[in-house]
Amino acid sequence: MTIEKRELNYQLKKLIGCTLSPINGSAVIIFDGFDNDSDSVFFRNSKNIKIKKKWNFLRILIESLFDFPAINPAQVLDVGPNLIKELVVLLANTCGVGYFKIQGVIYLTLESDEHCLCSVSELLPGQASQLISRVNKFESLDRKYLLKELVDVYNTLNIINKNLSDDDNNSSSIKTLLNQMKYFKEQSDAVFDGSSLDVIDENNFDDNYKNTELDEEGEELNDEKFDPSKLNIKTSTPTIDLMMSRIRFKEIILNPDFQRNDRIWKDSDKSALIESILLKIPIPVFYMSARKESEWLVVDGLQRLTTMYDYINDKFSLKGLKILDNYNGLKFSEFPRSLTRRITETELVVHVIQSGSPATATTQIFQRINTRGEKLSQQEIRCSINVGYSTQLLRELAEGDDFINATNGSINPKRMNDLEYVLRFCAFYLENNYSNVKIKNMDSFLIDTMIFLNNEGNGSNVVAKMKCDFSKAMKAARLLFGSFAFRKKHTQSIGNGINKALFETWSVCLARLSENDINVLLSKNKKLLNNFDKIMTNQLTLSSWSSHENSDKDFEFSISQSTSKVEMIKYRYESIDELIKMTILS
C-alpha cells in the first residue's frame, strides 16, 4: 500500500487524543496534537507529563518518507534517536507507515501492508532486506552528476535546434525532446537555486533540511533579561524630506549590502508604497537604533526608506498603480510641484532606540517587530544591528576559497548561514581558553564578538592573526577530512550535513596548532579519522562530564543537544583537543 500525503496528514489529525501503540519496547504515550503558534507537537507519557517536540522535525520526516524507499529518522534529522522517538511512534501508528529494525536501528517506510489506525506493523526480515538494498543503491547514485548531464544534453539540443530551420525534418523531433526535458531543467534550477551545478553540494537543497545539519533546538533566540529602566526610546515625526537628508549625509545607515535578494521589493511593491503616500495613507512606524546622535541604524523599515530614497532620486518609474493609475510610468521629477511636496512633506513616525540602551534590548526589539513576511534569521539580525568592520570581515572570510573548499560549498549563504559559522569560529577563537568559557546566551556571546571586532578594526594585530589562523584551519580541515570536514560521518549518507558545533570545535582546535603539528596530523591521518569515528560511536571517551546528570551521555550528545551550554562546549573541546594531542604523540 502507498498512502497519499494528504491522507497521511488526515490520519495524524485522527490520532489526536489516542494512546499510541509502542514499537521496539517504547513507553506508552498519548498524542495530544499540534500547536501552530509554537510550531510544536505535543504528547503525554503514562505519568501525564507533557512532552513537546518540533513540528518541523515531523514535517521533514513526512517529506522524506515520500522521497525515499525507507528512512532512518535519526539519520534524516541527524539527531539522537531518543530525541524523536515519540514522532517515530506517531508516524508508525498511521495506516500506511510500517517499520523494521536493522541492527537495532528503526526504519520507517510507506511500502508496508495496510494496518489499522493506532496500531503498528513490522515488516518481515525479507521485506526489510530488499528495502535496505534499494536505499543503498539510491544513496550510491550520484544524482547531482546525473542531473547535470541531463541539463547539459538539454542545453546542447537547444543550441542545435536554434541552428535548424523549421523545414528541417529533425526540427520537430528535437522540439519534442526539448519539451520533454524542460521538466528536468526546471527541477535543476529549483533544486540548485539557479546556481552553478559545479559548485553546489548535493546536501544543499534547503536551508533547514539538507544544507546544514539541524540544530536540536533550532535557532536560539536572545531572551537574556535586561533592565527596562535603562531602555531609552524617543519618538519623533520627521518629514520624508528630513529623513532623505539624513540618508544623503550618511546619518542613517541603510546597509543595503546585508539585505537579502529575496527580501528586495519588486517595482510594483515600491510603486504601491509611493501611491499610499500620495493618497495620504499613514505609513507604518519606523524603528532606528542610535549609535550616536549623528548615526542611526535602521531596525525596521529598511525597504520603505530605500524605496522613498530611490524614487525621489528617479531610480524607478511607477507601475501597476490601482487607484492613481494615471501616474503609471512617471518618475518623481516628472510630478508637478504640488505632488512632490506632498511626498516630501509627509510626516513619518520614527522610534529611536537611544545610545546607551542595553545591546540585548535592541536585539529583542528587532526580533519582536520583524514579523512581517519571512522572519529574519538570527545572523541577519546580528549583522543588521552591528554594521561595521565585523560584517565586512565575516563576509570576507565566508566568501574566501579556504572556507568554501573546507565546507565543500555546502553552506547556503542565503540566510547568512555562512557568516554565522565564521562568527562562531571568531567567538571561540578569541575566547582563548575553552575551560573558562562563560556563556549565558549564545546570541549575546556572538553579538559581543561582533562589537569587539568593530572596535578592533582592520588594523588590529589580533584580527590579522585570527585571519591567518582561520585560513590555516580551513586548509587543514580539507586536507584531513576531504569533503566530509565538520560532519559526523565520513561517508556519503542522507542527513550527514555539516554540524555547527563540530565546525566551531574542529576549526578552533586546528587554528591553534603550529604548522608542524598539522603536518604530523596529516601524516597520521588514518589514525585520526579512526579515533574520531570511535568517539562518535562512543567506543572512545577522552573527556568527562562535570555534572552527574550527564554522566551517561556521549560525545554526540555534546554536539547535538543544547550545544551552547557551557558543559557541552567544554566536553566537546576537551575531546577534540585530547584526540589531536593523542594522535600527534602516538
Residue with cell 509554537: 38
Cα→Cα distances 3→98, 114, 179, Å: 11, 9, 31
Which stretches of 348-399 are assigned E, i.e. beta strand? 350-353
Whether the CB-CB separation of 281 and 296 falls below 8 Å is answered with no
Q: Cβ distance 378 to 219 under 8 Å?
A: yes
CA 513-514-516 angle, 5° bins: 125
When pLDDT is cut at 50, 70 and 90, the band that residue 316 belongs to is very high
For residue 348, count other CB atoms closer than 10 A to its CB: 21
- The pLDDT of 399-405, averaged and rounded, is 93
All residues at 6 or more sequence positions from 289 whose CB lies less than 8 Å from its CB, including other chains: 296, 297, 299, 352, 353, 362, 385
In DSSP terms, 236 is beta-bridged to 350
pLDDT band at 26 (very low <50, low <70, confident <90, very high): confident
What is the rounded distance in angstroms from the CA atom of residue 213 to the CA atom of residue 203? 10
Instruction: Read off the C-alpha cell for 241.
Output: 524630506
d(CA 67, CA 61): 10
For cell 596548532, the residue is 513
The residue whose grid cell reads 571568531 is: 426
Q: When comparing pLDDT for 178 and 87, which is higher? A: 87
The C-alpha cell 555562512 sits at 418
- How many CB atoms are closer than 10 A to CB 234? 11
Helices and strands: H and E segment counts in the chain:
23, 11
Residue with cell 546556481: 195
Query: Which of 170-184, 285-299, 310-324 is predicted with the least confidence, judged by mean pLDDT?
Result: 170-184
- Element spanning 296, H or E: strand 295-300
Mean pLDDT on 172-176:
68
Q: How far is CA 209 from the centre of its chain?
A: 8
Q: What is the pLDDT of residue 104?
A: 78
How far is 510 from 170, CA to CA, in rounded Å? 59
Kind of pairing between the strands at 29-35 and 19-20:
antiparallel
Q: What is the pLDDT of residues 259-295, one digit of tens each?
A: 555 457 888 889 999 999 999 988 888 988 887 767 8
Mean pLDDT, rounded, for 469-495: 86
For cell 498519548, what's the residue?
A: 30
- 208 or 331, which is more confident? 331
Query: For residue 433, how many C-alpha atoms fall within 13 Å in the half-sphere facing its CB?
Result: 2
The amino acid occupying position 224 is: E
pLDDT at position 182 is: 62
d(CA 65, CA 563): 28
3-state secondary structure of 194: coil
pTM over 0.85: no
Helix (H) or strand (E) holding 288: strand 286-292
Alpha-carbon distance 563 to 558, whole Å? 6
- Return d(Cα 247, Cα 42) in angstroms, integer: 49
Using 50, 70 and 90 to split pLDDT, how confident is the model at 190? very low
Average the pLDDT over each of 51-55, 326-330, 351-355, 490-494 and give the range with the smallest value: 490-494
User: What SS3 string covers 536-569?
Assistant: HCCCCCCCCCCCHHHCCCCHHHHCCCCCCCHHHH
- Tell me what pLDDT residue 186 has: 56
Nearest to 134 by CA among 68, 73, 75, 77: 68
Q: How many Å apart are CA 180 and CA 287, to the nearest integer?
A: 51
- Dist. CA 277–CA 353, nearest whole Å: 25
Q: What percent of the chain has pLDDT over 70?
A: 77
**pLDDT at position 547, please?**
76
Beta pairing, strands 295-300 & 252-253: parallel
Q: What is the spatial distance between Cα 574 and Cα 576, in angstroms, rounded to a whole number? A: 6
Rg of the chain, C-alpha, whole Å: 28
For residues 477 and 406, the answer to whether their CB atoms sit within 8 Å is: yes
User: What is the pLDDT at residue 326?
Assistant: 92
Phi, psi of 272 (to 5 degrees): -65, -35
Give the chain's mean pLDDT: 81
Position 205 confidence tier, pLDDT thresholds 50, 70, 90: very low
Partners of 182 in beta bridges: none
Q: How confident is the model at residue 318 (pLDDT cuts 50, 70, 90)?
A: very high
128-166 residue pLDDT tens: 888 877 766 555 444 555 555 666 676 666 666 666 666
Residue 206 has pLDDT above 60, yes or no: no
Q: 574-584 pLDDT, tens per residue?
A: 999 999 999 99
